Structure 1
Amino acid sequence: MAVRTGKGAGLVSAVGTDRAALGAWAGTRLGVLVLSVAVAAYWSYGDLKDSFLDRWTQWDVDLFIEIAKYGYRGDPSQPQDAGLPAFFPGLPILIRTVHYVVPSWELSALLISLVAGAVAMVALARLARLTGGDAKAVVALLLSPYAVFLFAGYSEALFLAFAVPAWLLARQRRWEPAVLCAMGATCVRVTGIFLAVALIVEFLVADRRWRLTPWLVLPFTPVAAYALYQWRRTGDWLAWQHAQQEGWGRSMAWPWDAFRTTWQAAFGDHNEFTGAFRVEIVAAIVGVALTCWLLARRRWSEAVYVGLPLASLLTSAFYLSIGRAALLWWPLWLGIGRLRWPAYLVVIVVFVPLLTEEVILFTSGHWAG
């Protein structure tokens, strides 16, 4: 019996990892699809939508599509939404591009997340394999409570499709393509800025081929271009930040004030957002613990990637979207994927009912994070 060795064995192993990641992606997407159809048929509260696509076009998806249709001025038949500049242009541009082929705006957004998510999961599986793990990290992410947003037409899947390959390439010291991928991530979400900073830290710690230094500036250029565009459109260099304030009331606050406000919203009031604020607090605790663990392990670049955006979220007027931001913390999912099976299965058993609840909330029109 022949035994594969060397590069051949490595190639077979890599192909197996990719297949496992794609299988996990396809299987969980099918599960979410079946669950959302079942919710529409048998169990719904909140705003019941008539069609499958409408039920998946909630909250920010509507805003991404509005930008794709009309630009940042928004629907001319409606009052102008001051919050639209809070969304980076990468996803709306891609939705508009796909719409030239796919007639439905809503389906275009879903298809982008579907394809981008597959790319991201393969890259995450390869990153896990590079660090001694396997596709368990992918499964953990796909079954995590907020993974509903990897199915919906949100920007998380598209961001990960650029950011995880960027990190994988950086770990392989392939800086030029890593930087190009990071530029794509920066077009999609402001989190790309923190990825760019983390890449600089990784370069300084692990490489230092100084001739490559100019490449590390490139991921910041989409942010500068977007700021220039908004300045020319509105006369405001900080249009993104002011849109956050106008649209969601997100302004700078001392971390203890932000925590106190969020705690009051989570336990002092009782409304449809109460549960979401409780999850935000849990996600904040996980994020702080993860950052401290990365610092203790001297994984400086990953600590920067997780810690800097977390610090910005913890110094907002109140906690918002921290749970969703956790989808982007690949060190968390790699760490969970390295757990021993009993502990790993406990995590998955906790995750699945929470994900089920999030799918029900999102597809019935309730706030899901």
Structure 2
Amino acid sequence: MGTLRSAWKEAAWVFGLSRLLLLLVTYVGGVLLRPKNMASIPCVNNGLRFCLLGWYHWDADAFGRVAHVGYRSVADVAFFPFWPWLIRLGAAALGNRFPLSFLLSELLLANLFFFASLILLYLLAREALDFDPAQARKVLWYLTFYAYAIFFFAGYSESLFLLLTLAIFLLLQGTALWRWWMAGLLGCLAALTRSTAVVLLVPFLFFYVERFWRAGSPGLAPSQTVEGRPWSLWLRRLSAALPALLIPATLAAYMLYLGVRFGDPFVYSRMERTVWGREFALPWVAFGPALGALLSGPLHTEMAVRNLMDVLFTLLPLVVLVIGWRQMPVAYRFFSLGLALFALCFPLNAGETLASQPRYMMMAFPLFLVLARWSKRFPSLDLVYGGFCAPLFAINALLFTLHYWVA
């Protein structure tokens, strides 16, 4: 109970400070400065409404559109349905006025889910990984003020997916079968949130082997050993394994729906390729064009700055995860690896090939656990990280509200 109280307190501090900063940046971007492409902002006027509409574009606009009219456009099937469903429910509670109710629903839910994610992350660090309170607190600060953590404020699905991921990791720490079935049900929701959910099979696999197959596993009582009742042992193992199958089953159900609705169960993949410009490639392929553009083109253009940020915040998380590989439990290692490979295997097929990769890499939350561990040995890391990431966090928020492309 004391740990939960501490989690609420620590999460409230970092959440409140970061949201105050983002609201200040929103005001500066919406009132004191003028957003790029003013005509693209619907119902522009002065005041709070004008400021908040600075966050309503790109994926946030697409999610709001799906929430409002459903999959009227086949191109929108690339946006999985659970997050728009939640947005629609929130918008209904807020008066169902488009676009303002949908935007407010996105922002309120995204921030609510992020606050809950901070609480779960603190609990995971303290109870599952034995971090001391200072280290667990730093994990929250490192995540919240990461350069691309603005997407936990915007109406994107990042906050929801992070919350579901952390809840699954917490549930899989125990051996009670209800925890595994609950994790499986949350995996269903994650699979309806984004295709990356398939990577959640990794922690299921590693925790399953650790808790139900290794000798002396905490999930196996003495009566379930070979000397006891073999059928009981195998029944328990089967009961713990089945929930993981709910994730691919949910993805298959969504594909079945697309097949019935649009005549092609793989239409979401086709839309990713033809409309959104993402198609399968080997994970290192995207680096070539991005680095080539940096080395051969002028460095003072907007595209050059974006390429530089893409390369930097794709490589830095990878370097941290590689160096800190042995400082993480095995399930966390391979979850991070799977998430990184999944993201890198679907780059843009032209132009800014690493676009959005910094946002995808941020979802590998063990990155921040590694950094917090390092901070104990290198206290100056707090200053270095804060001096580097926090200003970029504010700058990215300002650019986003001014309608410049960010990740």
Give the TM-score taking structure 2 as reference length: 0.81
**1: CA distance between counterparts of 2:113 and 2:295?**
37
**2: CA distance between counterparts of 1:313 and 1:268?**
26
Partner residue, 1:347: 385
Matched, 1:187 2:192: yes
Partner residue, 1:323: 358
Match of 2:207, SS state, is: helix
**2: CA distance between counterparts of 1:256 and 1:159?**
25
Structure 2 residue corresponding to 1:280, chosen from 310, 324, 333: 310
Shift of 1:160: 1.2
Shifted more, 293-302 versus 177-186: the winner is 293-302
Q: Determine what percentage of the aligned residue pairs are the same residue.
A: 26
Structure 1 residue corresponding to 2:399, chosen from 351, 361, 368: 361
Residues 112-157 of structure 1 show CA distances to partners (whole Å, capped at 9, x for unaligned) of 1021111111101111112114121111111011111110100001
**1: CA distance between counterparts of 2:110 and 2:57?**
14
Shift of 1:33: 0.8
Partner residue, 2:216: none
**2: CA distance between counterparts of 1:327 and 1:44?**
29
**2: CA distance between counterparts of 1:58 and 1:266?**
27
**1: CA distance between counterparts of 2:13 and 2:283?**
41
Partner residue, 1:243: 271
**Structure with larger Rg:** 2
**2: CA distance between counterparts of 1:354 and 1:245?**
30
Output aligned runs, 1:126-145, within 5 Å.
126-130=123-127, 131=129, 132=131, 133-145=135-147
Shifted more, 40-49 versus 279-288: the winner is 40-49
| Structure 1 portions without partners, runs of 5+ | 1-10, 75-81
CA contact (8 A) 1:336 1:344 kept: no
Partner residue, 1:39: 29
Partner residue, 1:234: 262
CA contact (8 A) 1:194 1:309 kept: yes
Structure 2 residue corresponding to 1:220, chosen from 236, 248, 255: 248
**2: CA distance between counterparts of 1:352 and 1:200?**
36
Shifted more, 20-29 versus 307-316: the winner is 307-316
CA contact (8 A) 1:294 1:302 kept: no
Q: What value does the CA root-mean-square deviation take over the aligned residues?
A: 2.1
CA contact (8 A) 2:168 2:183 kept: yes
Partner residue, 1:97: 89
Partner residue, 2:156: 154
**2: CA distance between counterparts of 1:260 and 1:243?**
24
Shift of 1:221: 2.4
Shift of 1:245: 0.5
Shifted more, 253-262 versus 286-295: the winner is 286-295
Shift of 1:239: 1.5
Residues 158-211 of structure 1 show CA distances to partners (whole Å, capped at 9, x for unaligned) of 111211111111123432222222222222111211012332222123434513
The residue identity in structure 2 corresponding to 1:29 is R
Matched, 1:112 2:109: yes
Shift of 1:236: 1.5
Partner residue, 1:77: none
- Cα pair distance change 1:100/1:140, threshold 3 Å: same
Match of 1:354, SS state, is: helix
Matched, 1:175 2:175: no
| Structure 2 portions without partners, runs of 5+ | 45-49, 96-100, 214-235
Residues 76-95 of structure 1 show CA distances to partners (whole Å, capped at 9, x for unaligned) of xxxxxx53111111111111
Residues 274-322 of structure 1 show CA distances to partners (whole Å, capped at 9, x for unaligned) of 3222222223323433443465457332222221232233233332321
**2: CA distance between counterparts of 1:206 and 1:348?**
38
The residue identity in structure 1 corresponding to 2:183 is A
Shifted more, 56-65 versus 195-204: the winner is 195-204
Partner residue, 2:68: 69
Aligned residues: 352
CA contact (8 A) 2:196 2:342 kept: no
